Amino acid sequence: MTKSQTLMEAYNGTAYPLIGHGKRNAQVLKEAFANVEDSLSSDMYGSGRVIERYQERMAKLLGKEAAVFFPSGTMAQQIALRIWSDEKGSKKIAYHPLSHLEIHEEDGLKELHHLEPLLLADENRPVLLRDLHGLPGDVSAVLLELPQREIGGQLPEYGELEAMSAYCRQRGIKLHLDGARLFEVLPYYGKSAAEVCALFDSVYISVYKGIGGIAGAVLAGEKSFTKQSKVWKRRHGGDLISLYPYIVAADYYMDQRLQRMEQYYRDAVELAGYYRACGALHVRPEVPVSNMFHVHSDLEKAQLESAFIRVADETGVGLCSTVREHKAGGVYFEVSMGDRYADAPKAKLEEAFRLLKECLEDETGGK
């Protein structure tokens, strides 16, 4: 048994890392292209069979008139909100305080598009109908993220979602879906992608979260919307001569993984149960509603890391690779389920959690 120095090293050295689908490496690309003919023509600046066929597949799956492949969700979502803003002639849009656009994009939405976001809801819960009641009438669009990633992947109940959709429609406010993890919430909602998307005027989905592609995103809506989005895609520098490396991979891994989303969700529920049974850890949401959840603790970062390193080194189970500190104090880590979880034998998992519990009890003095 080697003693690992850092949590990341320990995690990477385990026989049973539990998070996601596997390492992000060249094998992901090579597997996706293994059965692709050499003669498959590249897309050319948004045209060509490889991109058009995939876009048609996605439009159908999402129940929208048309879909456009983008290099990133950052680009796709800024553009969606910009189109709705221009259409209404108002810079005001609204989203959750922990939206990707607010905290991970260096304020691209403000710096490039001069949009003015209104922040909805308490940052510890998802947006609800009552948050929309206070919006001024000249808001162009509301963005809802399903599930809300930064708070562990929480969701509004489906009836609440329908009510928000109806509310926005009545008031001429466009509703945009940040569906980075849309497919991952469908088993909990018990709905098809098209059913959920029907509540929204525009929809973004990611091809490298639950689907596990290399990079890329899809933006879908009516043709008048997607047509404008292509103009903005070119303006942003996203209309690459060739996007096929991402498209072929997205197509390939969708075939494998869309059907596994139910399993990932059930696995998350199971694994969250193990964590709930440990003292000193709090799972959020308590019972997952997608393939992901967060685990919070009042322990020190170093204490939690050393517990995970010991579990990794002694049992070969990688529970977590990164512990983060909250601004407000305390620490947390994210768990998202993919193909890997199925590889870990139940007995190994139980051994790992017995040891984790023991380590945490040592740290907290058995409290």
Residue 205 found at the interface with a copy of itself (CB under 8 A):
no
Residue 8 found at the interface with a copy of itself (CB under 8 A):
no
The binder of a copy of itself chosen from 3, 37, 346, 365 (CB under 8 A): 37
- For the segment 67-96, give every residue that binds a copy of itself (CB under 8 A): 70-76, 78
Supply φ then ψ for residue 187, to 5 degrees. -60, -40
Residue 106 found at the interface with a copy of itself (CB under 8 A):
yes
The binder of a copy of itself chosen from 238, 285, 288, 316 (CB under 8 A): 238
Give yes or no for a contact between 10 and 306, defined as CB atoms under 8 angstroms apart.
no
Of 23 and 276, the one with the shorter C-beta distance to a copy of itself is 23
Of 63 and 108, the one with the shorter C-beta distance to a copy of itself is 108
Q: Which helix (H) or strand (E) holds 94?
A: strand 92-95
Helix (H, G, I), strand (E, B) or coil at 332: strand
Of 23 and 354, the one with the shorter C-beta distance to a copy of itself is 23
Alpha helices by DSSP H, listed for 155-300, are: 158-170, 182-189, 193-197, 223-236, 244-257, 261-276
Q: DSSP of 275-330, one letter per residue?
A: HHTSTT-EEESSS-SSSEEEEEESS-HHHHHHHHHHHHHHH-EE--S--EE-TTSS
Q: What is the spatial distance between Cα 31 and Cα 78, in angstroms, rounded to a whole number?
A: 32
Comparing C-alpha atoms, which of 299, 344, 279 is closest to residue 318? 344
- Residue 337 DSSP code: B
Window of 65-73, 171-179, 261-269, 344-352 that interacts with a copy of itself by CB under 8 A: 65-73
Q: Which helix (H) or strand (E) holds 54?
A: helix 49-62
Q: DSSP of 214-228, one letter per residue?
A: SS-EEEEE-HHHHHH
Window of 61-69, 102-110, 140-148, 158-166 that interacts with a copy of itself by CB under 8 A: 102-110
Least distance from a copy of itself to the Cβ atom of residue 230, Å: 9
Q: What is the spatial distance between Cα 150 and Cα 285, in angstroms, rounded to a whole number?
A: 11
Of 248 and 283, the one with the shorter C-beta distance to a copy of itself is 248
Window of 13-21, 109-117, 123-131, 251-259 that interacts with a copy of itself by CB under 8 A: 109-117
Of 34 and 347, the one with the shorter C-beta distance to a copy of itself is 34
Contact code string over 16-35 relative to a copy of itself, x by CB under 8 A: -------xxxxxxxx--x--
Of 109 and 142, the one with the shorter C-beta distance to a copy of itself is 109
Residue 42 found at the interface with a copy of itself (CB under 8 A):
yes
Distance between alpha carbon 181 and the CA centroid of its chain, in Å? 4
Least distance from a copy of itself to the Cβ atom of residue 203, Å: 17
Residue 112 found at the interface with a copy of itself (CB under 8 A):
yes
Residues binding a copy of itself: number (CB under 8 A): 51
Window of 196-204, 242-250, 316-324, 331-339 that interacts with a copy of itself by CB under 8 A: 242-250
Residue 5 found at the interface with a copy of itself (CB under 8 A):
no
Of 24 and 276, the one with the shorter C-beta distance to a copy of itself is 24
Angle between helices 49-62 and 244-257 (to 10 degrees): 40
Of 208 and 265, the one with the shorter C-beta distance to a copy of itself is 208
Q: How far apart are the first and last CA of the chain?
A: 30
Comparing C-alpha atoms, which of 188, 205, 251 is closest to residue 77? 205
Q: How many beta carbons lie within 10 A of that of residue 266, not counting itself?
A: 15
Binding site for a copy of itself (CB under 8 A): 23-30, 33, 36-42, 44, 70-76, 78, 105-108, 111-113, 208, 214-215, 231-232, 234-246, 248
